[in-house]
Amino acid sequence: MSTNVLMTVPTGPGVGLTSVSVGLVRALEQQGLKASFFKPIAQPHPDDTGPDRSTAMVAQGSTLRPADPIPLHEAERYLYNDAIDELMEEVVGRFQASIEPDSTVIVEGLAQIPGHPYATRLNKAIARTLDAGIVLVTAPNKMRVTELEHHVEIAAGSYGGIKADDVIGCILNKTQPGSLGMKSYGDTFAQRPIFKRNFSLLGQIPVSEELTYPRVKDVADFMNATIINAGEMEQRRIQSYTLCARGVENMLEALRPGVLVFTPGDRTDVIMATAIAALNDTKIAALVLTGGYQPSEALMTLCGKAMAKGLPILSVESNSWDTAIKMQAFNQEIPLDDKERILTVKEHIARCIDHDWINTFALNDEERKLSPPAFRYRLIEQARALNKRIVLPEGEEIRTIQAASICAERGIARPTLLGNPEEIQRIAQNNGIDLNYGVEIIDPDSIRDKYVAPMVEIRKHRGLTDIVAREQLEDNVVLGTMMLEQHDVDGLVSGAMHTTANTIRPALQLIKTSPDSSLVSSVFFMCLPDQVLVYGDCAINPDPSAEQLAEIAIESAMSAKAFGVTPRVAMISYSTGGSGSGNDVDKVREATRIAQERRPDLLIDGPLQYDAAIMEKVASQKAPDSKVAGKATVFIFPDLNTGNTTYKAVQRSAEVVSIGPMLQGIRKPVNDLSRGALVDDIVYTIAITAIQAGQLDN
How far is 630 from 570, CA to CA, in rounded Å? 10
| pLDDT confidence of residue 183 | 44
Interval 405-418: pLDDT, tens: 999 988 999 999 99
Q: Is the CB of residue 689 less than 8 Å from the CB of residue 493?
A: yes
Identify which has the larger pLDDT, 114 or 444: 444
Question: According to the model, what pLDDT value does residue 192 have?
Answer: 46
**Better pLDDT: 47 or 22:** 22
The pLDDT-based confidence of 191 (bands split at 50, 70, 90) is: very low
Cβ-proximal residues to 623 (8 Å cutoff; 6+ apart), any chain: 576, 577, 605, 608, 612, 629, 630
For residues 103 and 250, which has the higher predicted lDDT (pLDDT)? 103
The average confidence (pLDDT) of the chain is: 86
Q: What percent of the chain has pLDDT over 90?
A: 37
Answer yes or no: is pLDDT of 680 > 60.
yes
What is the model's pLDDT at position 188?
40
**Burial status of residue 118 (CB atoms within 10 A of its CB: 0-12, 13-18, 19 or more):** middle
Question: Residue 21 contacts by C-beta under 8 Å, 6 or more apart in sequence?
Answer: 8, 37, 54, 58, 106, 108, 137
What CATH number is given for 521-665 in this structure? 3.40.50.10750
Question: Looking at residue 111, what is its pLDDT?
Answer: 87
Parse the chain into domains and list their residue ranges. 4-209+341-361, 215-329, 387-491+498-510, 521-665
Provide CB contacts within 8 A for 677, sequence distance 6+: 399, 495, 496, 685
pLDDT band at 53 (very low <50, low <70, confident <90, very high): confident
Cα angle, residue 247 at apex, residues 246 and 250 outer, rounded to 5°: 90
Q: What pLDDT shows up at residue 421?
A: 94
pLDDT of residue 185: 36
Contact 552, 513 (CB under 8 A): no
Does residue 496 surpass a pLDDT of 60? Answer: yes
**pLDDT more than 70, % of the chain:** 93
Give me the amino acid identity at 180.
L
CATH topology of domain 387-491+498-510: Rossmann fold (3.40.50)
pLDDT band at 698 (very low <50, low <70, confident <90, very high): low
Same fold, 215-329 and 521-665: no
- The string of pLDDT tens digits covering residues 540-569 is 899 999 999 999 999 999 999 988 888 999
What's residue 365's pLDDT?
42
Q: pLDDT, tens digit, for every residue of 83-98? A: 887 888 888 888 888 7
Q: Is 143 exposed, middle or buried (0-12, 13-18, 19+ CB in 10 A)?
A: middle
24 SS3 class: helix
Q: How many Å apart are CA 635 and CA 535, to the nearest integer?
A: 5
Looking at per-residue pLDDT, the higher value among 443 and 247 belongs to 443
Eight-class DSSP state of 666: B
The pLDDT value given to residue 190: 41
Q: How many helices (H) and strands (E) does the chain have?
A: 27, 22
Mean pLDDT of 290-307: 87
Query: Which CATH superfamily, name and number, covers 4-209+341-361?
Result: P-loop containing nucleotide triphosphate hydrolases (3.40.50.300)
Distance of CA 302 to the CA centre of its chain: 39
pLDDT of residue 670: 93
Spatial distance between the Cα atoms of 307 and 233, rounded to a whole number of angstroms: 11
Neighbours of 251 (CB within 10 A): 19
The residues that bridge with 598 in the sheet, in sequence order, are none
> Which has the closest alpha carbon to 556: 572, 578, 573?
572
Please give the Cα distance from 460 to 319 (Å, whole number). 72
Query: pLDDT, tens digit, for every residue of 384-410?
Result: 899 999 999 999 999 999 999 999 988
Query: Span 60-85, mean pLDDT?
Result: 86
Instruction: Inform me whether the pLDDT recorded for 17 exceeds 50.
Output: yes
The pLDDT value recorded for residue 184 is: 39
The domain over range 215-329 is classified in CATH as 3.40.1390.20: yes
Whether residue 49 is predicted with pLDDT greater than 70 in this model: the reply is: no
pLDDT above 90: residue 64: no
Residue 355 Cα distances to 172, 307, 360, 560, angstroms? 15, 46, 9, 23
Average pLDDT over residues 606-624: 90
Strands 4-10 and 104-108: parallel
pLDDT at 364 over 50: no
Check pLDDT > 90 for residue 446: yes
Q: Is the pLDDT of residue 459 over 80?
A: yes
b/e per residue 445-455 (b: at least 16 CB within 10 A): eeebeebbeeb
Least confident span in 179-188, 219-228, 346-355, 656-665 = 179-188
